[in-house]
Amino acid sequence: MNTTAHPPLTSVWRQWLVDNLQRGCTQESLVAAMLNNQFSSATATFHIAQVTAELSNKAPKPAAVENPAAAEKYRYEASRIASGNTLNVTDRAVSVSMRLAQPDIVAFDDFMSRAECERLIADSIEKVERSGVVDPETGKTIIIPARSSEGCYFQRGENAFIQQLDARISAVMNWPIDHGEGIQILHYTNGGEYRPHFDYFPVEQSGSATHLAKGGQRVATFIMYLNDVEAGGETVFPDVGLNIVPRQGSAVYFSYVNSLGQIDPATLHGGAPVIAGEKWIATKWMRQEKY
Ligand code: PD2
Ligand code: ZN
């Protein structure tokens, strides 16, 4: 392909492509959004192919940077999740439905009530319409009038409802509330998927530095399922052959950084394609330090 035939991509659009490809958006949806923003079909397809190739060459692998233990095999420690089949946390009794030791994965039932799930979806529908992307040059959030954005964030403690959820999540994860990022909402429609990835920031990638500077590395993820999915949409852990089926109110936890600062590459995970229906999830990522 002749690269000179296409106008170069601005850094904002490049970052937008990186974010959306990593979220598993389809090529068709990205082209459609770019067509709405004065790209020609050929130019959009060209840039999507370029960025896709770049991303596949950068398979994230944990690296030893200023930490000799990082180069060693990951040492599993006791899960941060309390023992017991029912965890009485803040305002709710949460049931444990599955525990895996290596990698550290714990699944829960009844983490949220039906009403709470519905409220979070209802509150998100409005925000999703207003969601934007971070301008990598200015760091500001900018709105791109494309329909491809399917996610939004709730700032920590944004309102009393979010504050209550943040507190419950922090209690179950056994990690301080002020180490948590704001809850992220993702909405998948039919065919939507989130290709396998790691949630930690690959230390060898230059783009991770900005993320690591505030709060340090991510240490654990908590995914809450806000609706039942008719078919597909499981959270998959391909290296251990584990699939978590989304059920309204249930949740899954997994951790990938231990007290030595090592990172567990066995936590590769993804969102399988939604085959029928739609899928709404809320995700909380915890950091090593205050965030
Ligand atoms: O939607 C999911 O199941 C999923 C899969 C992988 C969510 C995330 N990662 C995430 O929010 O990090
Ligand atoms: Zn993830």
Assessment of whether the complete model's pTM goes beyond 0.85: no
* 274 Cβ closer than 6 Å to some ligand 1 atom: no
171-189 pLDDT per residue, tens: 999 999 999 999 999 999 8
Minimum CA distance residue for ligand 1 atom 6: 270
* 271 Cβ closer than 6 Å to some ligand 1 atom: yes
Pick the CATH number of 79-287 from 3.30.465.10, 2.60.120.620, 3.30.70.1280, 3.90.226.10: 2.60.120.620
In 3D space, the residue among 148, 223, 146, 213 whose CA is nearest the CA of residue 184 turns out to be: 223
Ligand 1 mutation pick, 186, 226, 227, max ligand atoms within 8 A of CB: 186
Least confident of 4-8, 96-100, 148-152, 177-181: 148-152
pLDDT of 145 > 60? The answer is no
Domain limits of the chain? 3-62, 79-287
pLDDT at residue 131, rounded to an integer? 41
In 3D space, the residue among 145, 141, 238, 251 whose CA is nearest the CA of residue 193 turns out to be: 238
* Closest ligand, as measured to the CA of 252: 1
Ligand 1 centre from 174 Cα, in Å?
Answer: 20
Length of the chain: 291
Q: What are the strands of the beta sheet with 194-197, ordered from one edge? A: 194-197, 269-271, 235-237, 242-244
The pLDDT of 281-285, averaged and rounded, is 97
82-128 pLDDT per residue, tens: 999 999 999 999 999 999 999 999 999 999 999 999 999 999 988 87
* 43 Cβ closer than 6 Å to some ligand 1 atom: no
Q: Is the dihedral of CA 162, 167, 172, 175 positive or negative?
A: positive
* 199 Cβ closer than 6 Å to some ligand 1 atom: yes
pLDDT at residue 210, rounded to an integer? 87
Ligand 1 mutation pick, 187, 247, 269, 280, max ligand atoms within 8 A of CB: 269
Ligand 1 mutation pick, 154, 169, 229, 235, max ligand atoms within 8 A of CB: 235
pLDDT of 135 > 80? The answer is no
Residue 269 CA: nearest ligand 1 atom is 6
188-223 pLDDT per residue, tens: 988 888 888 899 988 887 778 888 999 999 999 999
* Closest ligand, as measured to the CA of 186: 1
Minimum CA distance residue for ligand 1 atom 7: 271
* 200 Cβ closer than 6 Å to some ligand 1 atom: no
Minimum CA distance residue for ligand 1 atom 4: 271
Cα distances (Å, whole numbers) of residue 265 to 110, 123, 151, 174 = 29, 34, 26, 22
Sorted by sequence, the CB contacts under 8 Å of residue 159 that are 6+ apart come out as: none
Ligand 1 mutation pick, 184, 281, 286, max ligand atoms within 8 A of CB: 281
Ligand 1 centre from 153 Cα, in Å?
Answer: 14
257 C-beta neighbours (distance < 10 Å), count: 21
* 52 Cβ closer than 6 Å to some ligand 1 atom: no
